[in-house]
Amino acid sequence: MLKITLKDGSVREVAEGTSILDFVKQVSNSLAKKVLAARVDGQTRDLMSVLDKDAQVEFLTFEDADGRWALRHTASHILAQAVKRLYKDSKVQLAIGPAIENGFYYDFDMERQLTDADLRDIEKEMKKIVKENLALTRKEVSRAEALKFFEEQGESYKVELINDLPEDATISMYSQGEFTDLCAGPHVVSTGKVKAIKLQSVAGAYWRGNSDNKMLQRIYGTAFEKQEELDAYLHMLEEAEKRDHRKLGKELDLFSLHEEGPGFPFFHPNGMVIRNELINYWREVHRRYGYQEIKTPMIMNRKLWETSGHWDHYKENMYFTKIDDEDYAVKPMNCPGGMLVYKTHAHSYRDLPLRLGELGLVHRHELSGALHGLFRVRNFTQDDAHLFITPSMIEEEIQHTIDLFDEVYSTFGLSYKAELSTRPEDSMGSDEIWEKATAALQNALEHRGLEYVVNEGDGAFYGPKIDFHLKDSIGRTWQCGTIQLDMLMPEKFDLTYVGEDGEKHRPVMLHRVVYGSIERFIGILIENYAGAFPCWLAPVQAKLLPITDKHMDYAYALKKKMFDLGLRVEVDDRNEKVGYKIREAQVKKIPYALVVGDEEVANGTVTVRKHGEKETQSMQAEEFIKYLQQKIASKDEKY
**CA-CA distance, 412 to 472, in Å (whole number)?**
9
Which of 81, 176, 217, 382 is an active site residue?
382
**CA-CA distance, 175 to 30, in Å (whole number)?**
27
- Are 62 and 32 contacting, i.e. CB atoms less than 8 angstroms apart? no
The single-letter code of the amino acid at 78 is I
As beta bridge partners, residue 385 has 357, 512
How far the first Cα of the chain sits from its last, in Å, is 65
**CA-CA distance, 571 to 543, in Å (whole number)?**
6
Which of 198, 245, 364, 423 is an active site residue?
364
Specify the DSSP element, H or E, that contains 278: helix 269-288
Specify the DSSP element, H or E, that contains 215: strand 215-224
Q: In the 8-state DSSP scheme, what is residue 614?
A: -
Helix (H/G/I), strand (E/B), else coil: 302: helix
The single-letter code of the amino acid at 540 is V
The answer to whether residue 384 is catalytic is yes
Which of 465, 520, 543, 581 is an active site residue?
465
Which of 68, 181, 198, 335 is an active site residue?
335
The answer to whether residue 511 is catalytic is yes
- What string of H, E and C letters represents the secondary structure of 330-353? ECCCCHHHHHHHHHCCCCEHHHCC
The answer to whether residue 250 is catalytic is no
**CA-CA distance, 255 to 247, in Å (whole number)?**
10
Helix (H/G/I), strand (E/B), else coil: 418: strand
**CA-CA distance, 558 to 403, in Å (whole number)?**
41
The answer to whether residue 535 is catalytic is no
Strands (E), 155-206: 171-176, 179-182, 196-206
Of 263, 220, 8, the C-alpha closest to 104 is 220
Specify the DSSP element, H or E, that contains 86: helix 65-86
**CA-CA distance, 595 to 97, in Å (whole number)?**
58
The answer to whether residue 148 is catalytic is no
The two counts, helices (H) then strands (E), for the chain are 20, 33
Specify the DSSP element, H or E, that contains 477: strand 477-486
CA atoms within 13 A on the CB side of 592: 29
The answer to whether residue 183 is catalytic is no
Which of 109, 384, 467, 486 is an active site residue?
384
Helix (H/G/I), strand (E/B), else coil: 106: strand
The answer to whether residue 583 is catalytic is no
Q: In the 8-state DSSP scheme, what is residue 570?
A: E
**CA-CA distance, 559 to 278, in Å (whole number)?**
24
Instruction: Return contacts of 225-231, CB within 8 angstroms, 24+ apart.
Output: 225/62, 225/71, 225/193, 225/195, 225/196, 226/195, 226/196, 227/195, 227/196, 229/196, 230/196, 230/197, 230/198
| CB contact set of 404 (below 8 Å; sequence gap of 6+) | 285, 286, 289, 514
**CA-CA distance, 57 to 41, in Å (whole number)?**
6
**CA-CA distance, 64 to 618, in Å (whole number)?**
53
Specify the DSSP element, H or E, that contains 400: helix 394-411
Specify the DSSP element, H or E, that contains 104: strand 103-109
**CA-CA distance, 374 to 548, in Å (whole number)?**
41
- Are 171 and 51 contacting, i.e. CB atoms less than 8 angstroms apart? no
Cα Rg of the chain, angstroms: 30
Which of 511, 520, 581, 631 is an active site residue?
511
List residues with catalytic annotation: 335, 364, 382, 384, 386, 465, 511
